[in-house]
Amino acid sequence: MRPEFTITIEDETGAREYEILATIEYDDTEYAALVPVGEEEPEALIYRYSEDAHGVPEIEPIDDEDEFAEVLEVFTQALEELDEDE
């Protein structure tokens, strides 16, 4: 997992800043767990993750439900392992 970074996501409601909580590689694709900056009880969002030639983070939504379920399980296991190590 990588150190924390932030990324801004723009949608129809405006721009919002998210912290990249963690990234993992699964099945030759990298994924990121994002949480909104400044929320007391944030819910994580999961996206496909990459970086452009300049190292700028890029994200892409996961539209396939099966892919999302598999990646969510991998993230859950990784975060549980981190909690156990602390």
For residue range 62-86, what is the model confidence (pLDDT) as tens digits?
999 999 999 999 988 887 877 676 6
pTM recorded for the entire structure: 0.81
How many C-beta atoms surround the C-beta of residue 18 within 10 A? 23
C-alpha 4: how far from its chain's center?
10
CA–centroid distance for 78 within its chain:
13
Joined tokens for residue 51: 């970086």
Residues 15-48: pLDDT tens digits?
A: 989 998 889 999 999 999 999 998 888 888 999 9
Q: Where are the domains of the chain?
A: 5-85
Dist CA 26 CA 50 (whole Å): 13
Q: How far apart are CA 76 and CA 22, in angstroms?
A: 11
